[in-house]
Amino acid sequence: MDKDKIEVEVVYALPTQQRVLVVRLPAKSTVAEAIKVSGILDAGDPVGGEQKLEVGIWGKTCALSHLVHAGDRIEIYRPLQITPMDARKLRASNNKKKLR
């Protein structure tokens, strides 16, 4: 492998599947450039425009302008369907109904 090129993974998980793409790009590339090279946004996935993306590397959120390093796993996060607090309230409500 060229020493001026690096490999990173770009990951996007849907409820029923996970897409993992390995891309090669120049060293000192950004998260946004890696996502663009991966083509994941061209596939019609409902992740929104690039400006609205929530992304991270290995589970830690970062900016699209963050520089990537060889072996990084870039994750594209989907918006929450329900907040954790609302999910707990819903579970508690369902548990109360079961006890009656």
**Could you report the per-residue pLDDT of 43-80, keeping only the tens digit for each?**
555 555 555 788 999 999 999 999 999 999 999 988 87
**Beta strands 73-77 and 5-13: pairing type?**
parallel
Contact present, 13 and 33 (Cβ < 8 Å): no
Q: Are 74 and 8 in contact (CB under 8 A)?
A: yes
Domain that holds residue 15: 5-99
**pLDDT value of position 87:** 86
Q: For the CA atoms of the chain, what is the radius of gyration?
A: 18
For residue 3, the model assigns a pLDDT of 74
Count of domains for the chain = 1
Residue of higher predicted confidence among 99 and 76:
76
User: Looking at residue 58, which CATH number applies to its domain?
Assistant: 3.10.20.30
